[in-house]
């Protein structure tokens, strides 16, 4: 039977380096994609991704398994993301209903093969995802990549459940429109 994330984190807090390696193996892909598809530039995304894990390492002594480890991990990721957006002069909440500035999405430009291969529908979907307001995109990515529920999304992002639910619904609605164009 697989050891729960929370137990691994407690073991790591107690000094078990192997527990951290296992946690990292489990969550690295989802977290990396969450960050990569939230941030426009790969370089910035990787920097942010590393900062998030370093925060996890720093905060290990304060970790208490009051919630799922995943929720705790993505709370840290959300906070780092907010810091990142603030540095760029953006505010997550105020942009809740606004589209992101129309720029070529970094995620799409990072995967030019999608376009080159003629997978236009995927490119459109990626562009629609990149064009979502940050809060809505975050809600969708948290839902898809980490499997968080609406309540857990609300907790990780510091919003109430209604707001989290609304963001997710709007995000899904816009992405569905991109699908309908196919």
Partner 1 sequence: MTDERDSSVDPRISARYRELGAPEPPRALDEAILAAGRRGASARPASLDRAQRRRWYAPLATAAVLVLAVAVTLHMQQEKPEIAAPSAKAPAPEAPAAASEQDLKLRMESSVKPPPAPAEPRRKPAESKPESKPEAKPFAPDPAPIQAPIPAPRSDAGAVVREEDRTARDAAAAARAPAYGPLEAQGQKRAESAPAPMAAPSAAAGRATRERENLASDALASSSVTASGLELERIATLRAEGKHDEADKALAEFRKRFPDYKIPEEMLRRVERR
Report the distance separating Cα 93 and Cα 112, nearest Å: 31
Take residue 82 and report the two structure tokens written for it: 């907010």
Residue 128 CB, nearest distance to partner 1 (Å)? Answer: 10
Q: Cβ neighbours of residue 104 under 8 Å, at least 6 residues apart?
A: none
Does the footprint of partner 1 cover residue 34 (CB under 8 A)?
no
Residue 93 CB, nearest distance to partner 1 (Å)? Answer: 21
Q: According to CB under 8 A, which one of 7, 98, 112, 176 is a site residue for partner 1?
A: 176
Distances in Å between the Cα of 75 and the Cα atoms of 22, 138, 175 are 20, 11, 24
Does the footprint of partner 1 cover residue 63 (CB under 8 A)?
no
Residue ranges of alpha helices (H) inside 14-68 are: 17-38, 42-58
Q: According to CB under 8 A, which one of 4, 7, 58, 64 is a site residue for partner 1?
A: 58
**Look-up: residue for tokens 């799409």?**
108
Does the footprint of partner 1 cover residue 54 (CB under 8 A)?
yes
Q: According to CB under 8 A, which one of 3, 4, 67, 179 is a site residue for partner 1?
A: 179
Residue ranges of alpha helices (H) inside 63-160 are: 69-87, 106-110, 112-116, 120-131, 134-145, 150-157
Closest CA to 100 of 88, 114, 87, 113: 88
Residue ranges in 111-140 that form contacts with partner 1 under rule CB under 8 A: 111, 114, 121-122, 125-126, 129
Q: According to CB under 8 A, which one of 3, 4, 21, 120 is a site residue for partner 1?
A: 21
Interacting residue ranges for partner 1, rule: CB under 8 A: 12-17, 20-21, 24, 28-29, 32-33, 36, 46, 49-50, 53-54, 57-58, 60-61, 107, 111, 114, 121-122, 125-126, 129, 143-144, 147, 149-152, 165, 168-169, 172, 175-176, 179
């Amino acid at each position: 039977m697989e050891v729960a994330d929370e137990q691994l984190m407690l073991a790591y807090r107690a000094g078990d380096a192997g527990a951290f390696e296992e946690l990292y193996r489990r969550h690295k892909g989802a977290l990396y994609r969450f960050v990569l598809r939230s941030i426009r530039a790969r370089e910035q995304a990787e920097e942010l991704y590393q900062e998030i894990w370093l925060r996890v390492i720093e905060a290990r002594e304060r970790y208490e398994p009051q919630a799922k480890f995943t929720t705790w991990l993505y709370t840290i990721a959300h906070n780092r993301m907010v810091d990142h957006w603030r540095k760029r002069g953006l505010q997550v909440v105020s942009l809740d209903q606004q589209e992101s500035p129309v720029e070529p999405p970094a995620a799409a430009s990072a995967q030019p093969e999608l376009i080159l291969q003629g997978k236009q529908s995927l490119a459109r979907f990626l562009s629609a995802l990149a064009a979502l307001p940050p809060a809505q995109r975050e809600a969708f990515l948290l839902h898809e990549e980490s499997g968080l529920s609406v309540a857990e999304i609300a907790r990780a992002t510091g919003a109430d459940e209604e707001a989290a639910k609304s963001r997710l619904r709007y995000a899904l609605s816009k992405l569905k429109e991109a699908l309908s164009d196919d």
